[in-house]
Structure formats: C-alpha cells, structure tokens
Amino acid sequence: MAATDLAIDELVSYYRQMQRIRHFEDELLHASRRGDLADATHLCIGQEAIAVGTMAALEPSDLITSTHRGHGHCIAKGADPQRMMAELYGKACGYCRGRGGSMHIADFSLGICGANGIVGAGMPIANGIALAAKLKGTGQVCLSFFGDGAANQGAFHEALNLAALWSLPVVFICENNAYAVSMASHESMKIENVADRAAAYGMPGVVVDGNDVLAVRGATREAVALARSGGGPTLVECKTYRMTGHYAMDPDRYRPREERQWWAKHNDPLERAAQRILEAAPELGDELKHLKAAAKAEIKAAVRFAHEMECPAVDDRAVHVFTPQAPLRDSRPAHADAPEKTFVEALSEALGEEMDRDESVIVIGEDVAKRGGAFQVTAGFLERFGAERVRDTPISEAAIIGCGVGAAMQGLRPVTEIMFSDFVTVAMDQIANQAAKMRYMFGGQVSVPLVIRASSGCAGRARAAQHSQSLEAWFMHTPGLKVAYPSTPAEAKGLLTAAIRDEDPVLFLEHKGLYQMKGPVPAGEYVIPLGKADVKRAGRDLTIVTYARAVHTALDAAERLAKDGIAADVLDLRTLVPLDVEALLASVRKTGRVLVLTEDCRTAGAAAEIIALVTDHAFEALKAAPIRLTAEDVPLPYSVPLQDCVLPSVGQVLEAARGLAGR
C-alpha cells in the first residue's frame, strides 16, 4: 500500500509508538551497561514494527501472550512505560510488584496476559485464553508471539494443532529475527519459512516483511478477522532482525558485522516509516523530530521514576504465591448410612455437581468425552454437558495443561485429566513453570483456578515403571501448586469439590488402587477444605502419618497392633499442600512416636519432608527417632513379586511400629 493511500496520521502514530519502544530499549541498554539491570534483559531493537503493526490490527479488548523479548508488545498494547521500567528495576510499583521483571510483564486490564521466560510456552496458554473467549462469546482474539527458535519446541506443534482442530480465535505471530541466540534459523530447520509449517496443521501461513509496519498490520488484520469470524487460527511470520545481541550485554560475536550493519543502515523499521511519511507529507519533518524527542523525554522520565521508587517490602516476599480466599466450610462428616459409591462414582458426582452449579467448569483431556476418561470418571458427561464443555484432545499433554492455564486465567475453571500421573513429565513446564508461577510472577494480578486430575500409584498387576509412579513429592516441591490425594470415596468427592472451587492450581492425585473401593458418599454438595488432615483412628502410643492408599495399609496394621495393646493414631493428611502441620504436630505431641508411611519412593520424598517438619517443630516431644516407611528407590517393576517387595507392606508397618513402641 502506498503511503498516500492511507491516513497519514495513522502512520505518524505508528512512528510515534515505534519511537517510544526504541527509546525504552535504548534506555535499557544504557541501564544494563551501568549495571542497573539483570543480565536477562532481551531487547527488541529492530523489531518495533511487528509490535506496533500487530497491535494496530486489534481491538482494545483483544488479548496477547508475549515472550522474553516482549517490551515492545506491551508498550504497543498500551502498557505504562513507567510501571514497566519500575518492574525492570524491581520496584514495588512495577507491573508485577517486583516479582517478575523484564520477562514477565503483564497487565491483564489491557489484555496483556503475560510475557514468558520459557521459549514457546505462551502458545498453549494463548489457546486457553482464546478458548475462554470462544466459550464466553466475547468476540475477543488472542495474539500469541513467539520467535523462530520457539517453532522447534513441542509446545509450538501441540498448540498449533489444537488451535486448528478447535478453530480457536488465536493468531500466532512469529517474530523471525533470523536467530535463536547464536543459531541462525536455517540451521534449526530444513525449510525456508516457519509459516510453511502452518499447512501441516490445516491453517493459513503467511510470510510478511516484519520491518514494514503497514505490511504487518495488513497481514494481522486479515488473520484477526478470520479468527474473529470463527475461521480459526493463522500463523503470520514476520521476517525481521534483532539489531542488538540476544540480551542487552551479549557481545554478539556470532553474527557477521556486515550483516548487522546492513540491517541497521538499510532496513531500520523506524527509518522506513519515517521515509514513507516524508515522501507523502514532507512538511511533517519537524513533527517527526518532535515525536522522537518527546518519546526520549517520556522514557527518560520513566527511568527517573523507576530509580526513585521503593523496592517491595521484604516481609511480603511470599505474598502472591497463593490467592487469598475465604476458607470453605467443612461439610458434615460422611455418615455410614450415606449411599455406597465407588471412588470413581464419587469423583464423577463431585465433578458433575460442580458442572451443574457453575458453567465455567469445563473438562479437557484425552478420551474424556466419548470414552468417559481413562477410568470412567467423566462417563456420560458429553451427553450431559455437551461437547463445548467436555473436550477430547489429541495426545498433547502440554497443550492440555497450557490450555487449562490460559482458560483459568480468563475466568473459566478447567478440570484437566492426565490419564496417568507419569505423563505429567511431558507437561511439566506448563504445570511447574506456568500454572504454579503465574500468580506470583505477575504480582498477584491473576489467579489460575485449574485442577489437574491424574491417576497415580501402583495397583494390582503393575503397569511397570511408566504407569505406576507416585510423583507427589515433585509437586510438593513446586511453590504455587496445591496437592490433594484422597483415601476414601467420600474424601474423593469432598476434596475434588474443594479443588474445583479453589482459586489456585491443584494437582489432584487419584490412587488407581482405590478407584473401585466402595464407601458411604454423602449425596448433594459435599466439601472438604484443602489442608485439613483427618484422624482415621485415634491412639496414644504412636502416630502413623500417611495418605491415599497407604492409609488403608496403616489402618490394617493399626487393627493388628491394637490386638498387641499398641494404640496407633492414624493421621490421613488428605492434602500434601497445604499440609495440616497443626494436626501433624498435635498427634506427634500426643504420642511422641512417629512413623511416616508412603508409597512414594524414599529419597527426597514426601516422608522426608514430613519428618523434617516434625523434628523442626516438635523435636522435644519425640521419645524415639522418627521412622519412614516408603517405596524403595527402584522404578516400579512389572513382575508382581518384585512390585510387592518395592512397596511398603502391612508386615513392615507392624515391625516398624512395634520397634517404635518398644514392644
């Protein structure tokens, strides 16, 4: 499009925005050289036309996910440079209250749903954001930025496939600046364009000159219009060049100097826009100079502001790990005359009742709709709640959890299903880096009310080491996640209800050995607040601390111990995060002897943490050294006799308990 064909004032406004971004980044370069900023400050000098051109194609209510190189996106979407600068300087009034820094700027009130320090991670999340928009019928579109390097991440492939399958209102914007750190894009893929990959997922792929703000705007407009009209995603690849090193202080010795000079001299997006304006309206020369000077002054003022502001109060450092929320009311205990249900039926009842009660609860996972889930928890849900709310996915765990994260941040309450907890390994980034950390990194701007249900543990004939693990300790070790692991059908119902109502991400583990267990399950609403342990059997001689299926091993042992005159307190933790330290210490103080029983393996396991808590807080009450009885540090073997040796048995509990009680 010739400059004369367009409103020149629009191009001038784009020029102004690009100048603001350029000066922001220039100031960061200086600040880095002064040693004011962290190493990981990635500048977008040379890429400003993409930020400005794409945002020019959006409505203010549209949404974005950004990258480690995202300052330009945020400024172009309307972020306040003062608050951005304050965040980069780690100040309390920064966008993330000093918890996020350069790579995590977010302003949810402007639709900036977070920049991301994990390459490629924003794409599955953008799908969830777009899914929420689609289900709520808001008409919003989400742009998801990523680099050419990110196109080689699994998250890219999983996200594009799911977005296309579900016709999500998302547009994937590749900023191909020709390098991923030192690796040129032709060294990381055999094809010429990232956009060529779009065809493999059944979506349009467009290549555009990323240093031409109008070309970027044009391509994005088409893609956004398609997405908004229900036509699904597009991959827009903007060819560009980063004019500084990978990060501010990168010596950048891996790129030819001539190449860098050529781009700076001949293909600077700001110069190109200025030339275009002046060709059409030479009289605007002074105005452009004025805009440049004003941008410089604005950003210099932002630096002064950031310098002057206060750092966050150190006493508040743990604020925003979890969402403050009113405690749920504990429902009455499960009466023995309540209807008998299996554990699976109890889970199904909880989830179904929550879906009846709250339209924002949706189910996402492999085979959850047509097949009813790997263990039939969602059997019949497709007919009951419809295909919009009960969503079968391809085998793409990162895309499942990422979609859940994005949808949760936009007000839905997704319940995702991972068939076997062992498969969390391929979605670990989305669980541990995204779901768990979003709230904290973004300074409490957002909550992630996401439930991740996963079958866990070893049951009956073993399925061997990749389908039988107990991985709860990994998640106890991840600040920002809650972990529930019920032991009875009633608790399965009460805790799942609480998990769905919780504002934070909850990993909800379901022991496979309990799925067919029957027990009384209260009809109707039934809630057990997270973080409340339950004394399953009272005794004064020793405490057996445990959870999930091991509770039944402990109860079996306690019954036999009682015949020898040893009264065991059996404490079922029920949730591992938050952990009911009060109940734990109360029991230990009563008995003075503690045995921790888990099916988790030994080293750095849940039992080690529980014993550390006891010795930290109730050492004086101990009459004997605590004992942990755990699975051995062996991958779960297939053969049943081997499996039985690896897992703790009733016999071992009896022996340990008798030793502990001195009998």
Which positions are catalytic?
467
**Neighbour-count burial for 141-180, b at 16+ CB within 10 Å, e otherwise:** bbbbbbbbbbbbbbbbbbbbbbbbbbbbbbbbbbbbbbbb
- In the complex with ligand TPP, the residue whose CB is nearer, 425 or 649, is 425
* Minimum gap (Å) between residue 458 Cβ and ligand TPP: 31
The nearer residue to ligand TPP, 145 or 485, going by C-beta atoms, is 145
Of 348-387, binders to ligand TPP (CB under 6 A) are: none
Give the separation between CA 42 and CA 83, rounded to whole angstroms: 18
Q: What is the DSSP letter of 460?
A: S
Is 179 a binding residue for ligand TPP by CB under 6 A? The answer is yes
| Interface stretch with ligand TPP, choices 48-56, 147-155, 268-276, 397-405 (CB under 6 A) | 147-155
Q: Which is nearer to ligand TPP, 145 or 515 (CB)?
A: 145
User: Which residue lies nearer to ligand TPP by CB, 246 or 341?
Assistant: 246
**Which among 141-149, 572-580, 600-608, 611-619 is the span making contact with ligand TPP, rule CB under 6 A?**
141-149
Residue 457: left (phi > 0), alpha (psi -120 to 50), or beta? left
* SS3 per-residue string spanning 105-128: CCEHHHCECCCCCCCCCHHHHHHH
Q: Which is nearer to ligand TPP, 117 or 648 (CB)?
A: 117
147 makes contact with ligand TPP (CB under 6 A): yes
Nearer to ligand TPP, 201 or 247 (CB): 247
Q: Does 184 bind ligand TPP (CB under 6 A)?
A: no
Interface pick for ligand TPP out of 62, 87, 107, 148 (rule CB under 6 A): 148
Nearest distance, CB of residue 104 and ligand TPP, angstroms? 12
Centroid of chain to Cα 615:
33
**Closest CB to ligand TPP among residues 119, 507:** 119
Among residues 3, 118, 215, 281, the one that binds ligand TPP under rule CB under 6 A: 118
Q: What dihedral angle (degrees, nearest 10) is formed by the CA atoms of 388, 392, 395, 396?
A: 20
Cα dist from 356 to 180, 344, 350, 360, 362, whole Å: 47, 18, 10, 10, 11
Where does this chain touch ligand TPP (CB under 6 A) — which range of 1-9, 114-122, 569-577, 614-622?
A: 114-122
From 49, 119, 130, 499, residue interacting with ligand TPP (rule: CB under 6 A)? 119
Kindly tell me which of 177 and 410 has the beta carbon lying closer to ligand TPP.
177
H helical segments located in 311-380: 343-357
Given the rule CB under 6 A, which of 174-182, 454-462, 583-591, 599-607 is the region that contacts ligand TPP?
Answer: 174-182
How far apart are the C-alpha atoms of 210 and 44, rounded to whole Å? 12
What does the H/E/C string look like for 500-515? Answer: HHCCCCEEEEEEHHHC
Tell me the C-alpha to C-alpha distance, in Å, between residue 579 and each of 281, 530, 545, 628. Answer: 68, 8, 12, 17
Q: Cβ contacts of residue 432 below 8 Å, gap of 6+?
A: 474, 475, 478, 481
Q: Tell the smallest beta-carbon distance from residue 151 to ligand TPP (Å).
A: 7
DSSP state of 351: H
Nearest CA to 295 out of 10, 33, 14 is that of 14
Beta strand ranges found along 264-420 (DSSP E):
340-342, 361-365, 390-392, 413-420
Q: Which is nearer to ligand TPP, 67 or 598 (CB)?
A: 67
Contact code string over 225-264 relative to ligand TPP, x by CB under 6 A: ---------------------x------------------
Of 51, 52, 48, 44, which Cα lies nearest the Cα of 14? 52
Stretch that binds ligand TPP, among 173-181, 268-276, 304-312, 355-363 (CB under 6 A): 173-181
Angle at 46 between CA 39 and CA 237, to 5 degrees: 105
Beta carbon of residue 175, minimum distance to ligand TPP (angstroms, whole number):
6
Cβ proximity to ligand TPP: between 149 and 539 the closer is 149
Q: Cβ of residue 194: shortest distance to ligand TPP, in angstroms?
A: 9
Residue with the CB atom nearest ligand TPP in the bound state: 147
* Contact status, residue 13 vs residue 52, Cβ threshold 8 Å: no
Q: How far is the CB of 272 from ligand TPP (least distance, A)?
A: 20
CB of 585 to ligand TPP, least distance (A): 40
User: Which span sits near ligand TPP by CB under 6 A: 124-132, 146-154, 216-224, 286-294?
Assistant: 146-154
Q: Give the neighbor-by-neighbor strand order of the sheet with 63-65.
A: 63-65, 142-147, 170-176, 234-239, 205-209
Nearest to residue 545, comparing CAs of 576, 521, 523, 514? 576
We find the least distance from the C-beta atom of residue 247 to ligand TPP, in angstroms, to be 8
Q: Which of 132, 90, 96, 134 is nearest to 115 (CA)?
A: 96
Interacting span for ligand TPP (CB under 6 A) from 148-156, 371-379, 499-507, 600-608: 148-156
Strands (E), 196-233: 205-209
Residue 21: half-sphere exposure toward Cβ, Cα within 13 Å: 31
**Stretch in the footprint of ligand TPP (CB under 6 A) among 116-124, 395-403, 510-518, 550-558:** 116-124
Do residues 607 and 596 make contact, with C-beta atoms less than 8 angstroms apart? yes
Does 117 bind ligand TPP (CB under 6 A)? Our answer is: yes
Q: Which is nearer to ligand TPP, 246 or 574 (CB)?
A: 246
Q: What H or E segment, with its residue span, contains residue 298? A: helix 285-308
CA distance 99 to 577: 22
CA distance 579 to 481: 12
String of contacts with ligand TPP for each residue 617-656, x by CB under 6 A = ----------------------------------------
Of 70-78, 145-153, 273-281, 310-318: span binding ligand TPP (CB under 6 A): 145-153
Integer Cα distance of 64 and 248 in angstroms: 24
Q: Is the Cβ of residue 45 or residue 203 nearer to ligand TPP in the bound state?
A: 45
CA distance 417 to 398: 12
Tell me the three state secondary structure of residue 458. Answer: coil
User: Is residue 533 a contact residue for ligand TPP (CB under 6 A)?
Assistant: no
DSSP per position, 75-108: HHTT--HHHHHHHHTT-TTSTTTTSS-GGG--BG
Q: Using CB under 6 A, count the residues that bind ligand TPP.
A: 14
Q: Which of residues 69-108 bind ligand TPP (CB under 6 A)?
A: 69
- In the complex, minimum distance from the CB of residue 152 to ligand TPP, in angstroms, rounded to a whole number: 8
Binding string, 37-76, against ligand TPP, x = CB under 6 A?
-------------------------------xx-------
Q: Of 122, 124, 149, 522, which lies in the binding site for ligand TPP, with binding defined by CB under 6 A?
A: 149
**How many whole angstroms separate alpha carbon 361 and alpha carbon 499?**
12
Q: Out of 133, 180, 368, 451, point to the residue binding ligand TPP (CB under 6 A).
A: 180
Residues that bind ligand TPP (CB under 6 A): 68-69, 117-119, 147-150, 177, 179-181, 246
